[in-house]
A and B are shown apart, each in its own frame.
Chain A
Amino acid sequence: MPEGDGYDYKIEAKAYTASSSGASVSPAESPDQELYHSKSWWTTYVFSQDAKYIGIQYFCAATAIAVLGLVLSVLMRVQLAYPGLNVLDPSTYYQAITMHGMIMVIFFLTALFLGGFGNFLIPLMCGARDMVFPYVNMMSFWIFLLSLLVLVASYLVPGGPTGAGWTLYPPQVITAGTPGNLWGLVLMLVSIVLFVVGFTMGGLNYVITVLQARTRGMTLMRMPLSVWGIFVATIIALLAFPALLVGGLMLLLDTVLGTSFYMPAIIATSNFGNEVSTEGGSPLLFQHLFWFFGHPEVYIVALPAFGIVSDLISVHARRNIFGYRMMVWAIIAIAALSFIVWAHHMYIAGFTPWFGFFFASTTLMIAIPTGIKMYNWLLTLWRGNIRFTVPMLFALAFFITFLNGGLTGMFMGNVGTDIALSDTYFVVAHFHFTIGIAPVLVVFGAVYHWFPLATGRMLDEGLGKIHFWITFVGAYMIYFPMHYQGLQGVPRRYFEMYNSSQASSSGLNEFITIVTIVVALSQLIFFYNIINSARAGKKAKKNPWDANSLEWQTPEMPPKHGNWGRTLPVVYRWPYDFNVPGASKDYIPQNVSPSQVRGAKAERT
């Protein structure tokens, strides 16, 4: 942003007096935040300390690596449908599967929702000038970028990237015969460690900004659900990533130093040339550590999606969110439960049935808060004044997709059905519906929704609708048949199934692959739309969606450095006052005081 934009940010917000509007808002508790003002092009656009810019940087980096993940998935699909083409051999297939999983779950979705949307939305939605520690926030992005480079570099080292699947189960991941069991694995683990360090720096910013840097009148129960989702997901991440860090560290030592944390006696490994004999390690220990991270990770991705989709549905249906408090408590309940369900990923690891009984019970309990959220979204839509904008279409698509994935979750959560379905395409379909397609649909919806705020221009609605229908219908055509394949017993992680006895299944494989290529190519429409609209799109008017939340109430759009100009906004109500009886417009922004809308009967403020 241009330097010297004329504002003196050090002016303290004037204490609000009750007489001027008839409502009481407590005075500011701390002085206005002092901001870093960049002096050069480099510190403005590259080494930016402005959370909005860091958010966009995160978004671009995560999207770039997602393109690699997408290309890998297309290669895998081609291999599965047309093994005669030999586009991949077994090693490169396993490497593709591993990189695809790791990239999409951690480096794309986690970074995008928390680093991207978190940075962009939290300060704006909470009425803050910036994140609380802009310098640390900047470092967070650069360490994340470094972790991406290390990850991609594993394609350049001898042996290529690790090919053990994104779960990296030892002893298989270390033993000879698995592709990339030395350098590839080391780079993967280093990359993960860097990611955790970088994320922690950002995550502390997000949490403290929400807890300690909200504007006057912004209570926790007046925050948009997007902020709630990102905030709670960040807390989960701060508590779950330690398990991945420790698990990864021990795996790193097993690989490099030849320790045997995870390596049982039966295995002799070769660590960088020298034969090492191991004994007495516990492979199950890694599975516990990995899934103690891995299951909360599902909700690190899902909760921000839940939050953002709540806002999209509410704004575009012109209807207050149904059961706001219940939505908040459901987010918190899901977060708490996510820490005591991890072993449902390990039903086939062979432990006592009582263990499975406990974890199946807690797993199915998650259906309660999730069900609350589903019904509340439905009731928000009910008798709403629905505008079928592109964000709304994506939100509705998310609703259906996630419902579908949640229902197959019933099969996966129960021990009996899970053991039968483990390692089949049913699992692939299930988790792609829940944490693949569903969150990505929310990402698209969110991009169409907030693009005007970031650039001041609208995305093209027509192209958006074409992109939407191809992506949504295509995703269903890709993953829905996989349920059938899974029930037929088609195993996942097989690189070739040409002579399968299930003729219908190999026919489906070709069908899925063709659709995959179409859907992957249709993303070019999206990228074209973004690039073209950022340059020459229709100018957006202020608050183009008639939304209530604070991010649309900045003095300029797109918001400048410091977000709020001279004085911070004061919040008088929740962000969901749509179609309030007696009000002149169908929405009342959060910073409109009761005296400005006299006669309007707000349902809750």
Chain B
Amino acid sequence: MNRSTLPKGWDGFAHDWAADQKVFKGMSWGKAMMWIFLLSDTFIFSCLLISLLTGRASTAVSWPDASVVFGLEVFGVSVPLLLIAIMTFVLISSSGTMAIAVKYGYEKNRKLCTIFLLLTALCGAAFVSMQAFEWTKLIVHEGVSPWGNPFGAEQFGAFFFMITGFHGTHVTIGVIFLLIMARKVWRGDFDSGRRGYFTTMKSDYLAIEIMGLYWHFVDLVWVFIFAFFYLW
């Protein structure tokens, strides 16, 4: 059953689920796996953020004011949320470069695909570096730690370091895989059918799209963390 003969709307949906072999017609195993994995990961981040709301609601001391804690002093002027704004901008932009890399991947334009993958990795690395800067500033200069801070409820630091740390780990893993993908594309693995070192399986440019799914997810999660932590 290809797309052109598939009934429209709910009928088509029911048709796919009632058909043999595949539920998601035309979708590769890897891509389906990434979607299901992201669904599971969504539950992890949901649990983290819901825990944040619950924890914040039950503290004995008032919650610190995010715009004060995360302010940055530039040339003697205190600008609230400046660093976070830049970080968010960089990470969202990297979603754009990732999308372009996927497009050039499907066009088998190895050079431009590599460049945009590396650009995406660069943005990700910049994000993690800025996060490291922010953590250092909070820990060393402002005395914020997971077990206490001068601004208010100690759970603030605990949730902050846990959630941003968990997200930062996701970004770091993404950057590592972006670099691996960039190397594979540059070397032409997806054209020559070179086999994976661990899996001994061939791969193709679909891998870039699957990588992209993960990367967009990590960006999307950041938007929620940004809203829940910095704006609220």
Contacts and interface: CB of A to CB of B under 8 A. Distances in A.
Interface residues of A, number: 56
B21 A215 contact: yes
A1 interface: no
Contact of B20 (A246, A253, A282, A571): A571
Contacts of A26: 1, 19-21
Contact of B147 (A258, A265, A289): A258
A282 B21 contact: no
B20 A214 contact: yes
Interface in A211-226: 211-222
Interface in B31-86: 32-33, 36-37, 39-41, 43-44, 46-48, 51, 54-55, 58-61
Interface string A212-248: 1111111111100000000000000011011101110
B146 A259 contact: yes
Given A26-B19, A133-B33, A250 B51 contact: yes
Q: Which of B33, B39, B60 has the most CB of A within 10 A?
A: B33
Contacts of A34: 201-202
B213 to A, nearest CB: 14
A29 B36 contact: no
Contact of B158 (A25, A207, A246, A259): A259
Contact of B60 (A215, A220, A257, A265): A265
A159 B58 CA distance: 32
A284 to B, nearest CB: 8
A200 B61 contact: no
Interface in B146-183: 146-147, 153-155, 157-159, 162, 166
Contacts of A239: 39-40, 43
B198 interface: yes
B231 to A, nearest CB: 22
B21 A250 contact: no
A242 B40 contact: yes
Contacts, number: 150
Given A34-B201, A259-B158, A279 B61 contact: yes
A246 B47 contact: yes
Contacts of A265: 60
Contact of A260 (B29, B32, B158): B158
A276 B1 CA distance: 64
A257 B147 contact: yes
Nearest to B29: A132
Contacts of A280: 58-61, 153-155
Contacts of A259: 146-147, 154-155, 157-158, 162
A288 B37 CA distance: 23
B24 interface: yes
B227 interface: no
A214 B19 CA distance: 10
Contacts of B33: 132-133, 204, 208
A247 B48 CA distance: 9
Nearest to A28: B21
Interface of A: 25-26, 28-30, 34, 36, 132-133, 135, 200, 203-204, 207-208, 211-222, 238-239, 241-243, 245-247, 249-250, 253, 257-261, 265, 276, 278-282, 284-285, 288-289, 292, 571
Interface of B: 1, 17-27, 29-30, 32-33, 36-37, 39-41, 43-44, 46-48, 51, 54-55, 58-61, 146-147, 153-155, 157-159, 162, 166, 198-202
**Which 8 pairs, one residue from A and one from B, show the smallest C-beta to C-beta distance?**
A242-B43, A259-B158, A246-B47, A280-B60, A242-B44, A280-B59, A282-B58, A135-B199
Given A208-B32, A212-B32, A250-B162, 13 more contacts: A132-B29, A133-B30, A135-B198, A204-B37, A212-B24, A243-B43, A245-B44, A246-B47, A257-B146, A260-B154, A261-B155, A280-B59, A571-B20
28 contacts: A25-B20, A26-B1, A133-B30, A135-B199, A135-B200, A212-B32, A214-B20, A214-B21, A215-B21, A221-B18, A239-B43, A242-B40, A242-B43, A242-B46, A249-B162, A250-B162, A253-B162, A257-B147, A259-B147, A259-B155, A260-B147, A260-B155, A260-B158, A279-B61, A280-B154, A282-B58, A288-B54, A571-B20
